[in-house]
Amino acid sequence: MDINAHTQFCGVIGNPVEHSLSPAIHNAAFQKLGLNFVYLAFRVEAIGEAIRGLRALGNFRGASVTIPHKVAAVPFLDAVEPTARHIGAINTIVAEGGTLTGYNTDATGALRALREGGVALKGRQVVMLGSGGAARAIAFALGTEAGIDRLSLLGIDERERTALAGDLQSKTGMTVQALPLDEGALRKVLPDTHVLIHCTPMGMSPNVHGTSVPATLLHAGLTVMDIVYNPRDTQLLKDAKAAAAMGGAGSMASEFPHW
């Protein structure tokens, strides 16, 4: 790859980003396709300042947006496509003609992964761990496209999970209960749960032995999805397999076609 004055650059914006496999995946794709692009990882604390800086760079083409900026980035963009606006979170920024537009591919990626895995969602009870940007996107997809029976939303931040539950109920009509993410709540909801979707950073490299769910609470017949992709086989998924639950990971490169 020859980097020159015409090279277009993209990147992942988040905190942390050291674990991210996105640069390796995207740069390999750019090279395979013969594109004069490069993809970098940027650890960003002040998302507004970062986006303002990107506007000044003529070769900036787009970015993946990850934890913790998927919601906070929205007000700093020129436009947000309708699905992302409805959800209230983005995971992709596209720069075109001096305009920065936000998109959200988390929802479609997660639902596609579940459907390709043969997971039935209609009429099912789903537990979601986390209430941030990724959880918000997937939860809206469950409410508008999947026809689930009930969503139990467990999150550490009370204000965040309560706000998300309210948005879901008002915009989708889905039955939602918001609970703290602790062992007591997990014991209450997991026995009757068909699908568990994990949307927190717990278990992400380098903290590969971390998990939000005690292994003893996982049971046969439970489908477990973990959006953490590094490592691919997280501690939660290992515990799920040991409990004869079905485990799997989500997809992550849905933003690439936008660039």
Q: Are strands 99-103 and 92-96 parallel, antiparallel or unpaired?
A: antiparallel
**Residue of 32, 70, 122, 238 with catalytic role:** 70
Reduced to 3 states, what is the DSSP secondary structure of residue 91? Answer: coil
d(CA 172, CA 113): 22
Tokens at residue 135, please? 């959880």
| Nearest by Cα to 70 from 54, 47, 49 | 47
Q: Is 171 a catalytic residue?
A: no
CA distance linking residue 81 with residue 87, whole number of Å? 10
SS3 34: coil
Amino acid identity of residue 70, one-letter, is: K
**By the 8 A CB rule, do 110 and 252 touch?**
no
Q: Which residues are catalytic, by number? A: 70
